[in-house]
Structure 1
């Protein structure tokens, strides 16, 4: 996988949605998530990580070292079992009890489990994971805190959640077809919203815990830039990453607090615009005078 990264990073991602639902809230009829106090749109970190995982899986296709732990239609305990078998725990044995026995002859048995998962699964190496599953036997591969963390995305301006009534000519049942030729439905959309999410990359955790490497980091930037490009659907409308601004510190523990770097990125709608409807209605400014000289700033898009 290569050597672990040596520099701390922070990053800012700007992405927008046009006539789509970027992240539905199941507790609100799958309508776009909104902060009830400010009216700003929200997209969860879990949603964005899913897009990144999907891109990695599509690009790498389960290549050695780049498997995805949290993926559709694959039980977690299947991957946990692989790790257990790598240190000699087979069958339906309870891993917790077996590890106690192994520790007598191999004090590093628990570490080997974690190392196996980090080496083989990109998303564990990146985001971390809680690797305990229950079934006939408890499979406990430990808990890993990943070096890459994302916050919630929040829109720059308040969004409008609009419900659009739609019709379809496909009738559900024979009985319904006797009485009607169309059926009604509803679709929730955001006419336009520009969202901002901030993230962190810890070189310290990469070195001490997961081994997240420079190659992994380059793949992460590629995944962020392209996370919507192969994920288009009628429900999500037109979504695109517009900016990826990366701050590279000169050392492992960083040169300044993250908030100072985030504050240096200003996103404002143009003064002549009342209701933004496209990315060009905004202006993105990086106040480099507020950033220490030891921190490198790079606009990846």
Structure 2
């Protein structure tokens, strides 16, 4: 089937964890300090997705080899075939996100149809700083373990916006199955791939609106939602609500342009419509809903 334009809204939260460390800031969580806003790069989100689809058995271009990081040149040399057809047929992440490769002095550039903006927190975020001690010493002569710093957010509800370009999808041979795999990754990748610094993150809401054509773009869905904090300085998902009136209105006013709306909504995230708590299915009942299992 022909891939049309899609738009994505994705919310997940982070509690006492580091969603995206900044190497220029001693690996502190990325922040807009003027706004007290936690930031997460699109590359961090794509890394979760790549790792998930690779674990599902799909080959990808951007990955480790034998559990070791390698250069792009090394990955290219390891490919069985460097033709465009083979690359797009076999490397799922290139079909999704694109890639730039230098093959025999020839630059191959695939512009990915699936792109995300940087994510940002809907709430003001405080950082937690603590000292950590390793059991291992810095040298054989040292008698004590090394001491370092550990930086985490106290609580951050992070929102991403994304698009799928129907025109670019045609050029990278993106498949419907790739989008279903993306849906699955958005629901399961973050909790399933948790590390020590990433445990404590859970997906709360995902919407992928599939439009009827390759022209429709309604805009960043984050502009149409509002976080209501039910207590000062929220520390948990049950201490806030998401007001979705404007998003529901936007999609309902454009429902003739919508083919399907793929979604999952965590029951712990309280959704508010017309001042009342509602289930996702009730709020968007006038749209063609398809739940991500």
Report the TM range for the smaller structure's normalisation.
0.7 to 0.9
Q: Which residue of 2 aligns with 1:244?
A: 206
Provide the TM-score with structure 1 as the length reference: 0.78
TM-score, L = length of structure 2: 0.80
Relative to structure 1, is the Cα distance of residues 144 and 169 closer, same or farther in structure 2, using a 3 angstrom cutoff?
A: closer
Q: Distance in 2 between matches of 1:166 and 1:31?
A: 14
**Alignment correspondent of 2:271:** none
The aligned runs of 1:202-241 (5 Å cut-off) are: 202-207=165-170, 209-241=171-203
Q: Deviations over 1:134-185 (max 9, x none)?
A: xxxx4435101111001101011221122112234443434212xx4x5433
Counterpart Cα distance in 2 of 1:151 and 1:200? 9
2:5 corresponds to: 8
Cα distance in 2 between the residues matched to 1:165 and 1:49: 30
Match of 1:69 in 2: 61
Q: 1:32 aligns with which of 29, 33, 45?
A: 29
Task: Determine helix, strand or coil for the equivalent of 1:173.
Answer: coil
Q: Which runs of 5+ in 1 are unaligned?
A: 61-65, 88-112
The CA deviation string for residues 55-98 of structure 1, in whole angstroms up to 9 with x for no partner, is 000011xxxxx311011234433443466x747xxxxxxxxxxx
Structure with higher RCO (Cα < 8 A, 6+ apart): 1
Distance 1:293-1:4 versus aligned 2 partners, 3 A rule: closer
CA contact (8 A) 1:16 1:239 kept: yes
CA distance in 2, matches of 1:210, 1:161: 41
Larger Rg: 1
In the other structure, the counterpart of 1:123 is 93
* Alpha-carbon distance between aligned partners in 2 of 1:249 and 1:277, rounded to the nearest angstrom: 36
Tell whether 2:187 aligns with 1:195: no
1: distance between equivalents of 2:175 and 2:231? 43
After TM superposition, give the deviation of residue 48 of structure 1 in Å. Answer: 0.8
SS class of match (1:252): coil
User: Which deviates more, 18-27 or 223-232?
Assistant: 223-232
Alpha-carbon contact 1:4-1:211 (below 8 Å) kept: no
Answer with 215-224 or 235-244: which moved more: 235-244
Q: CA deviation at 1:226?
A: 1.2
**2:219 is equivalent to residue 258 of structure 1:** yes
